[in-house]
Structure 1
Amino acid sequence: MAIRRMTHLRGPNIWTYRPVVEAIVDIGDLEDYPSNTLPGFYERLTAWLPGLIEHRCSVGRRGGFLMRLRDGTWPGHIMEHVALELQTQAGMKTGFGKARMTGEHGVYKVVIRTRHEAVGKAAIEAARDLVMAAINDRPYDVVATIARLTDMVDRQCLGPSTSCIVDAASERGIPSFRLNDGNLVQLGYGVAQRRIWTAETDRTSAIAEGISRDKELTKELLSSCGVPVPEGQTVKTAAEAWEAAQDIGLPVAVKPVDGNHARGVSLNLNTQAEVEQAFTAAEAEGSDVIVERFIPGQEHRLLVVGGKVVAATRGEITRVSGDGRSSVAQLIDLQVNSDPRRGAEEQFPLDIVRVHDNAVTQLELARQGLTADSVLPIGQSAVVERTGNLCVDVTDQVHPDVAYFATLAARVVGLDVAGVDLVVEDVGQPLAAQGGAIVEVNAGPGLLMHLKPAVGRARPVGEAIVQHLYPAGQSGRIPIIGIMGDQGGPNDALTAKLVAWLLNLSGKRTALACADGLYLGDRQLSSQSAVNWDAGERMLMNRTVEAAVLQTSVREVLTNGLPYDRCQVGVVTAMPPHEGLADLYVHEADQMPGIVRTQIDVVLDNGASVINADDPEVAELARYSDGEVFLYARSERQEAVRAHLAEGGRAVFERGTEIILGKGKERFTLLDLAAAPYATLAAAAAPGRTPAVLAAVATAWAMGIAPELIAAGLQSWGQQDAQAALQ
């Protein structure tokens, strides 16, 4: 099997609303050999990938794909399912896939949903190799392949904290797209956008983040506002650390001033040797060191979002139990690091415990008279870690007094999203009564401990952050008008420019990407054709944009997809010819409606579709619209228009030289083209352009622009062009 090419469709496309990788696969002679004719193939494939049992396929139930496999299906279809399963095993579960013939013998389009282009393409290539190995009864290292894909997912896909916010936004219908190769993500479009970077938002100020990194400054501010904090001193040397410990009173805790994840933190220190060793461990983290009063109790992390505690976890002391033959280091690997929740990457809620290169763990063992090489007898246990094991959900136990001080601490520092660390015996009791204290306030807190607690239920922290950024009723959307029809030609450009002009007049700063160039308000940014995905995304990234008019073409839909997930108004002006699209396996005119309907499929429920009723194939697309349908035509006697108006629908048409708005039985004369400066310049001077004007009028009407403003806007737009032509 040969993969001729792979295309990443980044936006809504002919297959689905979401990004996919589309591969052109030539299966060659295998077109004559469905799976049920290949001896041993079924057994080898299912032994390598037992998870295929979960694939429902077109049968619609568990095991459906395996039924197809036994009955006989072709390698292109099998590649689709294998690629999806490889992605799932690599930690990127996506369920959508398609395999369709192209019309060329043995050549298929294999399509899979993917969250990352490189991972999706690698999964398709691996699927090809795996299927061929199973067909030819050759060895194939499935484990190594999944490990390689897993590494790609870990390194290149969004981290779990960011993903949970993005997924929560998606559930709310809020669009999003990635702004870099890391975890910087834009939610929403244009002026309605917000940005997140892991658990930090664009409401997280640099000053607040700087304060949170300075633990001494944080404590000073908290203390001045009445928040209980442990007394402490910043020190430069081990000797100073011991002096501070004596001033504060033993026992003490020693930690880096600028640290996170409990690295370099030592607790309950009672001797000079312990304090000095702890200083060395904290200093190794690369910042100043603070010595503070030890607070007895358990470590807790409260997540504060928008002034509310939305989740809380409690830490646990990590211990190992002796077996009489294994060293402490071996016991740590056997009993602690074997926990599937532990790992070095962000998707693991707990860190790997390292003993040989971790001074804090070595100090903890030394205080118990042990080293990493000590062998614990049966029945004896040892503490290996006191901090950093936040894994027990206690959200429902948090006392209102504790929640009050946690939210106050976040406000004092200035963080909209904060991880507030406190030590307390019982989180269900008031803070001061039990001598508890807040020890840290962290910006950009990890969310995984709340998503995957070892004990208790997961908390909807992503939803809380999205609700904070977008209170109920806010969608993160701006009006987007998508226009398709004449393959990116001049008539659609005229419609787009008119619509953008009318939106600007209505008070919305409007971005325009069309065949004539790229515009923002009344300023032209580029004179080159902007009928492409990149131009559309560029406009939707702009924080000043309040509305966007984006022209597209069939070729763009087939090679990139649409640059937006949904639109307020979708306009189809014509059914383009299929000629010139053979390189994309479009050979027949009857393929075109299935492609063009993409523009209608993405119309929002509360939006509208604007349809050229004079083109019968375009008129047929109206039935796919989730929103209201506006028709336009040269005459109200057009059959589709008459039927639409009879049902109470809205339409725009000509009556002589007048443009008429119709709704049900009502008629309203918008403008007499013969009397308008615009008509002389554009419509009359360029025969055949009037339908573009009708489309623009219908679109503006669908956007809720008052007819009087539409009429005035058409005339003023024409006058501007006339003045420019005379200069």
Structure 2
Amino acid sequence: MATFQDIQLLRVNFLRGPSVWTYRPILEVWLDLQELEDYPSNLLPGFNQRLTSWLPDLIEHHCGVGERGGFLQRLEGGTWCGHVLEHIIIELLNLSGMPAEFGQTRETSRRGVYRMVFRCPEEAVARVALAQGHRLIMAAINDQPFDLKAAIQDIKTAIDDRYLGPSTGCIVDAASERRIPHIRLNDGNLVQLGYGAAQRRIWTAESDQTSAIAEGIAQDKDFTKRLLASCGVPVPQGQVVASAEQAWQVAQDIGLPVTVKPSDGNHARGVTLELTREADIKAAFALAEPEGSEVIVERFIEGIEHRLLVVGGKVVAACKGETVSVTGNGRATLAELVAIENQDPRRGIEQEYPLSPIDVDAPAVQLELRRQDVSPDSVIEPGRSVLLQRNGNMAIDCTDDVHPDVAYYAQLAARIVGLDIAGMDMILKDVSQPMAAQGGAILEVNAGPGLLMHLKPTAGAPRPVGMAIVDHLFPRGEGAGHAGRIPIVGIVGTQGNAFTARLVGWLLQLSGKLTGVACSEGMVLASRRTQTSSAAHWAGAHRLLTNRLAEAAVIQTTARSILDEGLAYDRCLVGVVTDMDGFEQLADHDITEIGQMRRVLRTQIDVVLAEGAGVLNADIEPVAGLAELCDGEVLLYSLHADNPRLAAHRADGEGRAVFVRDAQVILASGASERVLGTLAALCLPGGQQPDTSALLAAVAAAWALDITPELIAAGIKTFEGSV
């Protein structure tokens, strides 16, 4: 069998935002099939069989056929390897736990060269999936071995390294459900929800409303207890100790049994419960000391560990814990019994698992075993239960059972500490009964609580805690549909667009909104230039959208930026397309004629909000033709009052247009007309006359933003174009 040369990856480009392909981030790959251009899948001996034996779930890919098994039909009928690689990568991502439902492969004008794309929100993960998919397809083509498990693990590792944690991820997903945009601000879990001045920030389950003072209080468990107790919240009696000997002394004073724990630890590390013997208490001190700055000995309270999640002053979820033990059979050692327990599919080292594997060598487990006079090598007699863990296993949902009195104390404790989002650790015999009647108590108040236990409980219903946090940050009600959004004006084309962008920014500033402008002449914020180099690209727009001062944004972009990077924003209030020039400089993107520019520049109109408007140059037929793609209103502008598209647009009765008649700028809405001013009067300070088409584009965009004609006229005359 002949060996084929590798498919060449000519260019790999990550598109971060809306692009010619889709609204979401994708990896675009330019492929050269070389000799494989003459060998579709049905002409490669054994290829289809090898591929489907490795990836049997390819049968679920509908492909263009539109039914289960559609892609396999394409394989058997003969499809080219670029298309096959697309489906291989999508399936590898699916097998790695990250569903990837979008992909496309298109020919270019060069024989054997294709553009292949697939959706993936993280570039590093996408590149790993591409590398593994490339290796797999070449192995299938050339009948070579391929380690599928290793490939999937490689992608999983990239996902674990790069993806948001489950707590942050569920909040971001909830924000997306409410159409609130998000921007990841670092490689960790710091995420901006919304744009500019409308943004809020989260870091796991902490928000920019989470007080640093409150977080500091919560970290000091002893001080937290004293603060809660002073306000009448039931807490266990306890004391900070400095040595193992003092721990034993305090335990006797408080009364046995006791709990020993670090004063500022988390995730139940270093916590040991129900201690009665001197040796165990001293050992527990040694276990707790490295996990915090101090060690606390407190009265042990009988009951079940519970975690209540309080968001915005309300209990939104609750779960309870269970102890972990194994039962002997007279044959297996304790270590072997634990190994069987660790096969529970709910246990795993990755963050998506609600329960962690049990480590028999962990100090806390070793201490429990010593208390029961057993070791990992002990063979446990039939029927004997050996306790491994007493805490840290909260994953049974009990939200619907929470008594109002229990909820009251949890909410009160959060307010006393000052946390907007808090995880309340409580000891209760029965969460459905009042606190005092059962002798319950609050053990800890946690800032930045983990949410996984509420998202993936081992029993009971998952709770929408991510949405509860989003609703807390962006309350529902009037204007909720615009949550997290500022007015964004996107402008694309080549004809005077920097002037148009800056004039629109000036008019927005005059209307009362602190406005930022990112254009080819630099960056301007509140009429102050902050950057002199071009900002008409993804990075410039991104800097503007992350600026908390910006109450509105005007962003100029280019066809090349859309092709290379995608748009930096998911949606805009106003989208402006001035022309379709510049295709001559885009041959590297296989664009060689003006007709191909429609697919590129329509991206700007595709992202206009339904309540927004598209502003189009009616003097250029292909630009005006984009009107049919706009979800919002369409405003046309023209240098000619008798433009036929203008007339048809106005004939609808409400269609708005801006045009020139007899050297006067006219604002028209259906049959109604208003003179904004003469071209001679609408000049810049010093009498400078701007390009008329660029001026009309700016006037139409400002009118689309509901800026009054009076302010538009006055703003033009006061606009300092050289600022």
Scaled by the length of structure 2, the TM-score of the pair is 0.97
Write the deviation string for residues 303-362 of structure 1: whole angstroms up to 9, x where unpaired: 111111111111011111213222212211211x22232233333222222122x22211
Cα deviation for residue 679 of structure 1 reads: 9.0
Cα deviation for residue 270 of structure 1 reads: 1.4
Structure 2 match to 1:694: 696
Structure 2 match to 1:41: 47
Secondary structure of 1:674's match? coil
Superposed, 1:475-554 pairs within 5 Å as: 475-486=483-494, 491-554=496-559
Superposed, 1:57-456 pairs within 5 Å as: 57-335=63-341, 337-356=342-361, 358-456=362-460
Higher mean alpha-carbon deviation, 131-140 vs 51-60, is at: 51-60
The CA distance in 2 between the partners of 1:125 and 1:152, in whole Å, is 12
Secondary structure of 1:675's match? coil
Task: Give the counterpart of 2:711 among 700, 703, 709.
Answer: 709
Cα deviation for residue 69 of structure 1 reads: 1.7
Count of matched residue pairs:
712
Cα deviation for residue 680 of structure 1 reads: 7.4
Secondary structure of 1:255's match? strand
Task: Give the counterpart of 1:9 among 1, 9, 15.
Answer: 15
Write the deviation string for residues 360-411 of structure 1: whole angstroms up to 9, x where unpaired: 2112112222112111122222111110111111011111111111111111
Pair 1:561-2:561 in alignment? no
Structure 2 match to 1:577: 582
Please tell me whether the aligned partners of residues 674 and 680 of structure 1 are also in contact (alpha carbons under 8 angstroms): no
Pair 1:629-2:631 in alignment? no
Secondary structure of 1:597's match? helix
Please tell me whether the aligned partners of residues 13 and 29 of structure 2 are also in contact (alpha carbons under 8 angstroms): yes
Please tell me whether the aligned partners of residues 510 and 521 of structure 1 are also in contact (alpha carbons under 8 angstroms): yes
The CA distance in 2 between the partners of 1:598 and 1:140, in whole Å, is 40
Higher mean alpha-carbon deviation, 278-287 vs 661-670, is at: 278-287
Amino acid of the residue matched to residue 366 of structure 2?
Q
The CA distance in 2 between the partners of 1:677 and 1:392, in whole Å, is 70
Please tell me whether the aligned partners of residues 213 and 258 of structure 1 are also in contact (alpha carbons under 8 angstroms): yes
Please tell me whether the aligned partners of residues 92 and 115 of structure 1 are also in contact (alpha carbons under 8 angstroms): no
The CA distance in 2 between the partners of 1:429 and 1:664, in whole Å, is 67
The CA distance in 2 between the partners of 1:301 and 1:229, in whole Å, is 15
The CA distance in 2 between the partners of 1:131 and 1:345, in whole Å, is 29
- CA gap of 1:587–1:267, structure 2 versus 1, over 3 A, is same
Amino acid of the residue matched to residue 126 of structure 1?
Q
Structure 2 match to 1:610: 615
Please tell me whether the aligned partners of residues 499 and 721 of structure 2 are also in contact (alpha carbons under 8 angstroms): no
Amino acid of the residue matched to residue 528 of structure 1?
S
The CA distance in 2 between the partners of 1:207 and 1:321, in whole Å, is 46
Amino acid of the residue matched to residue 691 of structure 1?
S
The CA distance in 2 between the partners of 1:197 and 1:209, in whole Å, is 13
Pair 1:51-2:53 in alignment? no
Secondary structure of 2:409's match? helix
Amino acid of the residue matched to residue 696 of structure 2?
L
Secondary structure of 2:395's match? strand
Cα deviation for residue 67 of structure 1 reads: 2.1
Amino acid of the residue matched to residue 600 of structure 2?
I
Cα deviation for residue 502 of structure 1 reads: 0.4
Structure 2 match to 1:587: 592
Amino acid of the residue matched to residue 275 of structure 1?
I
Please tell me whether the aligned partners of residues 263 and 292 of structure 2 are also in contact (alpha carbons under 8 angstroms): no
Write the deviation string for residues 411-444 of structure 1: whole angstroms up to 9, x where unpaired: 1111111110001010011111100101011111
Structure 2 match to 1:638: 643
The CA distance in 2 between the partners of 1:680 and 1:406, in whole Å, is 66
Write the deviation string for residues 612-643 of structure 1: whole angstroms up to 9, x where unpaired: 00000001000000000000001221011000
Higher mean alpha-carbon deviation, 34-43 vs 459-468, is at: 34-43
Pair 1:596-2:596 in alignment? no
Higher mean alpha-carbon deviation, 543-552 vs 583-592, is at: 583-592
Please tell me whether the aligned partners of residues 673 and 679 of structure 1 are also in contact (alpha carbons under 8 angstroms): no
Please tell me whether the aligned partners of residues 84 and 97 of structure 1 are also in contact (alpha carbons under 8 angstroms): yes
The CA distance in 1 between the partners of 2:605 and 2:599, in whole Å, is 11
Please tell me whether the aligned partners of residues 245 and 282 of structure 2 are also in contact (alpha carbons under 8 angstroms): yes
Please tell me whether the aligned partners of residues 102 and 118 of structure 2 are also in contact (alpha carbons under 8 angstroms): yes
Task: Give the counterpart of 1:670 among 661, 670, 676.
Answer: 676
Cα deviation for residue 517 of structure 1 reads: 1.2
Q: Which runs of 5+ in 2 are unaligned?
A: 1-6
Structure 2 match to 1:465: 469
Amino acid of the residue matched to residue 613 of structure 1?
A
Amino acid of the residue matched to residue 461 of structure 1?
V
Secondary structure of 1:345's match? coil
Amino acid of the residue matched to residue 466 of structure 1?
V
Scaled by the length of structure 1, the TM-score of the pair is 0.96
The CA distance in 2 between the partners of 1:721 and 1:609, in whole Å, is 25
- The percent identity for this pair of structures is 57
Superposed, 1:20-39 pairs within 5 Å as: 20-39=26-45
Amino acid of the residue matched to residue 512 of structure 2?
G
Cα deviation for residue 52 of structure 1 reads: 1.9
The CA distance in 2 between the partners of 1:339 and 1:612, in whole Å, is 63
Higher mean alpha-carbon deviation, 36-45 vs 532-541, is at: 36-45
Please tell me whether the aligned partners of residues 421 and 438 of structure 1 are also in contact (alpha carbons under 8 angstroms): yes
Please tell me whether the aligned partners of residues 354 and 458 of structure 2 are also in contact (alpha carbons under 8 angstroms): no
Secondary structure of 1:659's match? strand
The CA distance in 1 between the partners of 2:546 and 2:371, in whole Å, is 56
Write the deviation string for residues 159-197 of structure 1: whole angstroms up to 9, x where unpaired: 111111111101100000110010000000000000011
Higher mean alpha-carbon deviation, 278-287 vs 117-126, is at: 278-287
Cα deviation for residue 286 of structure 1 reads: 4.2
Secondary structure of 2:458's match? coil
Amino acid of the residue matched to residue 90 of structure 2?
L
The CA distance in 1 between the partners of 2:547 and 2:137, in whole Å, is 45
List structure 1 runs of 4+ shifted beyond 4 angstroms.
none
The CA distance in 2 between the partners of 1:71 and 1:660, in whole Å, is 60
Please tell me whether the aligned partners of residues 232 and 248 of structure 1 are also in contact (alpha carbons under 8 angstroms): yes
Pair 1:660-2:660 in alignment? no
Cα deviation for residue 152 of structure 1 reads: 0.9
The CA distance in 1 between the partners of 2:688 and 2:329, in whole Å, is 90
Please tell me whether the aligned partners of residues 264 and 285 of structure 1 are also in contact (alpha carbons under 8 angstroms): yes
The CA distance in 2 between the partners of 1:155 and 1:497, in whole Å, is 41
